[in-house]
Amino acid sequence: MTIPRQLFGRTGHLSSRVIFGAAALGSVTQAEANQTLDVLLEYGINHIDTAASYGESELRIGPWMAQYRDRFFLATKTGERTYDKAKANFERSLERLCVDSVDLIQLHYLVSEQEWEIALGPGGALEYLIEAREKGLVRFIGVTGHDLAVIKMHQKSLDRFDFDSILLPYSYLMMQNPTYAQGFRDILRIANERQIAVQTIKSVVRRPYAGAHTHATWYEPLTTQAAIDKAVHWVLGQDGIFLNAPGDIHVLPQVLDAASRFESRPSDEEMQAVTAELDMAPLFT
């Protein structure tokens, strides 16, 4: 049942191809978090991706670290854009995670042109993250983003600084948008050339919520194992990328089960059939 591993970019770390998206721990109890840890260990997940803004997530991970720190590549994020605020935010994250350092710190959701100018300019958050790396508080620096604009902004970010990782949406539905699909292929080519790790999100989106939310995700997820199998296997069919698991502890085991059985990418015909059957719709348009 162990999920295959591959090099996480140039870091030298062999990360499980499914990364634990720890937004799933944002509003759960410690007991529920500990049950989730058991699931991660069962499937050999060895990479955790959290963020300062994910509710109680860092606090839920902290108690794991005394026993399991050496079992996980640990990543967090800061949404702050200035040096001083990013410093305070990251120091708080280290305290909440009960660690002296993390493996990766990421500039969170950097898609606004104005925020980009601040974060990557003089006195910006990136200036602090570089300093934190020099002090041994973090080993690697990444950047993340959502929305259709993420492609352009990631290209701009990689032109400005040699980030170690990027994170962006990727799914069968997303790649039906020709402009986004071409942009994703372009950014993947750049990442491969420069050994930058590529993390992908929103793999099991069914559609935007039309009514009451039924899961911790901010979109309506796929819920049947058959549909999740197709979505997960389609993403894993792209060599060299990682799938960051969705932010719901109840959907997580289904995603890990699907990933543990991955053999090949479903055909376009299979994906079109699932899309039509479940009335799937893109999250970003």
Give the pLDDT band of residue 87 (cuts 50, 70, 90).
very high
Cα–Cα dist 91/223, whole Å: 37
Q: Is residue 50 part of a domain?
A: yes
Residue 43 sits in a domain of what CATH number?
A: 3.20.20.100
pLDDT digits (tens, 9 = 90+) for 113-160: 999 999 999 999 999 999 999 999 999 999 999 999 999 999 999 999
Q: Is residue 75 part of a domain?
A: yes
Q: Is residue 282 part of a domain?
A: no
Residue 124 or 1, more confident: 124
Q: Is residue 247 part of a domain?
A: yes
The model's pTM: 0.98
**Predicted pLDDT at 2:** 83
Question: Which residues, 6 or more positions from 193, have their beta carbon under 8 angstroms from its beta carbon?
Answer: none
Q: Which domain holds residue 159?
A: 5-277
Residue 1 reports pLDDT greater than 80: no
Strand ranges, E, within the chain: 5-7, 14-16, 18-21, 47-49, 73-78, 102-107, 138-144, 165-169, 197-201, 205-207, 220-221, 241-244
Q: What percent of the chain has pLDDT over 70?
A: 100
Q: Is residue 285 part of a domain?
A: no
Arithmetic mean of pLDDT, 54-79: 98
Give the pLDDT band of residue 45 (cuts 50, 70, 90).
very high
Question: Which residues, 6 or more positions from 31, have their beta carbon under 8 angstroms from its beta carbon?
Answer: none
CB distance 248 to 223 below 8 Å: no
**Predicted pLDDT at 227:** 98
Task: Centre a 10 Å sphere on the Cβ of residue 82 and count the other Cβ atoms it contains.
Answer: 17
Could you give the 3-state DSSP secondary structure of residue 85? helix
HSE of 154, CA atoms in CB hemisphere, 13 A: 33
Residue 103 reports pLDDT greater than 90: yes
Q: Is residue 170 part of a domain?
A: yes
If one counts the domains in the chain, the total is 1
Q: Is residue 284 part of a domain?
A: no
Q: Is residue 63 part of a domain?
A: yes
